[in-house]
């Protein structure tokens, strides 16, 4: 009788420890949905999702994966629907954070850092950008425009962020990081539109030739308390408790 009770108790202790371990690995990445548009003779628009994390720290180095899904939602009623392309976007990170290891569903896009992107004349220099041009976000050669995301199309971009400032950083804070400009020239996450129609858009200065800042950012609903991951310290305590209980049961037997 005692042996059966002890066996059940052992199983309960192990199950509790396993449950705690599982909850520790249930950390959820944070995300925001976003959109932006530019009105005018030929309006353009975009939407997407920015996902950050989860954040991990190994050997004193903190990293998180940043994933951006970007959609060209330019309306069919706009001339830019046929000629306008998303040729890139710029984004910023907190001081001390770096981006590396780019992975893009459309390999025509390259990751640029602030030095390569110094010709961003609208809104200052972004910390990083993706562009169909290998050296800058602002100027894209004619042959590189059509390599962008056409109306109705989408692409996914991913980089590894590294830096202690990632701890506690939310997706909403990241997408809202401003560029190096000051005042009205400092802008957050922005998308670059270009056109292949040289006759209609001489000089590429019409609405579909601008960088369009994100204007609407929607965060997900708050995480229910039951879904909040258990801190690692509590997990270790649970494992220790389970081991201690098993040891006592063995001695009692």
What is the number of domains present in the chain?
2
With a CB cutoff of 8 Å and minimum separation 6, the contacts of 53 are: 27, 29, 30, 64, 65, 166, 171
Query: 44: domain CATH number?
Result: 2.60.40.1170
Both 104 and 209 in one domain: the answer is yes
Question: What pLDDT, on the 0 to 100 scale, is given for residue 64?
Answer: 98
Both 208 and 239 in one domain: the answer is no
Write the pLDDT tens digit of every residue in 111-145: 998 776 555 545 567 889 999 998 888 878 888 98
Both 108 and 194 in one domain: the answer is yes
Question: What pLDDT, on the 0 to 100 scale, is given for residue 23?
Answer: 38
Both 14 and 139 in one domain: the answer is no
Both 18 and 45 in one domain: the answer is no
Higher pLDDT residue, 11 or 126?
126
Q: What average pLDDT does range 63-82 have in this prediction?
A: 90
**Element of type H or E holding 24:** helix 2-24
Both 148 and 170 in one domain: the answer is yes
Both 2 and 79 in one domain: the answer is no
Question: What pLDDT, on the 0 to 100 scale, is given for residue 251?
Answer: 55
Residue 191, number of CB atoms within 10 A of its CB: 28
Write the pLDDT tens digit of every residue in 156-191: 999 999 999 999 999 999 999 988 766 667 889 999
Question: What pLDDT, on the 0 to 100 scale, is given for residue 135?
Answer: 84
Both 17 and 112 in one domain: the answer is no
Both 61 and 183 in one domain: the answer is yes
Q: How far apart are CA 46 and CA 40, in angstroms?
A: 15
**Element of type H or E holding 232:** helix 232-252
Both 14 and 77 in one domain: the answer is no
The band of 234, judged by pLDDT with boundaries at 50, 70 and 90, is very low
Question: What pLDDT, on the 0 to 100 scale, is given for residue 15?
Answer: 46
Average pLDDT of the chain, as a whole number? 78
The band of 69, judged by pLDDT with boundaries at 50, 70 and 90, is very high
φ, ψ at 156 (rounded to 5°):
-120, 135
pTM of the model: 0.75
Question: What pLDDT, on the 0 to 100 scale, is given for residue 182?
Answer: 64
Overall size of the chain counted in residues: 253
Omega within 30 of 0 (cis) for the link into 240: no
Q: What average pLDDT does range 187-216 have in this prediction?
A: 73
Both 88 and 101 in one domain: the answer is yes
Domain that holds residue 248: 1-26+229-253
pLDDT at 247 over 80: no
The band of 226, judged by pLDDT with boundaries at 50, 70 and 90, is low
Both 146 and 191 in one domain: the answer is yes
């Amino acid at each position: 009788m005692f042996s059966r009770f002890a066996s059940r108790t052992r199983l309960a202790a192990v199950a509790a420890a396993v449950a705690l371990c599982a909850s520790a690995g249930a950390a959820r990445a944070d995300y925001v949905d976003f959109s932006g548009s530019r009105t005018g003779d030929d309006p353009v628009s975009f939407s997407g999702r920015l996902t950050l994390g989860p954040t991990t720290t190994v050997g004193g180095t903190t990293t998180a994966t940043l994933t951006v899904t970007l959609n060209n939602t330019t309306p069919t009623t706009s001339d830019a629907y046929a000629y306008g392309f998303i040729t890139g976007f710029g984004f910023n990170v907190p001081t001390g954070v770096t981006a590396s290891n780019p992975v893009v569903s459309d390999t025509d896009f390259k990751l640029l850092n602030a030095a390569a992107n110094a010709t961003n004349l609208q809104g200052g220099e972004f910390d990083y950008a993706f562009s169909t041009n290998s050296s800058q976000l602002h100027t894209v050669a004619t042959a590189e425009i059509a390599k962008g995301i056409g109306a109705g199309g989408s692409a996914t971009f991913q980089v590894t962020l590294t830096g202690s400032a990632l701890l506690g950083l939310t997706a909403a804070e990241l997408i809202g990081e401003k560029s190096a400009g000051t005042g009205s020239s400092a802008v957050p996450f922005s998308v670059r539109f270009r056109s292949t129609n040289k006759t209609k858009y001489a000089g590429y200065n019409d609405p579909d030739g601008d960088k369009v800042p994100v204007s609407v950012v929607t965060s997900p609903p708050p995480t229910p308390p039951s879904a909040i991951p258990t801190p690692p310290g509590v997990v270790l305590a649970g494992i220790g408790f389970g081991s201690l209980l098993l040891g006592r049961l063995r001695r009692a037997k």
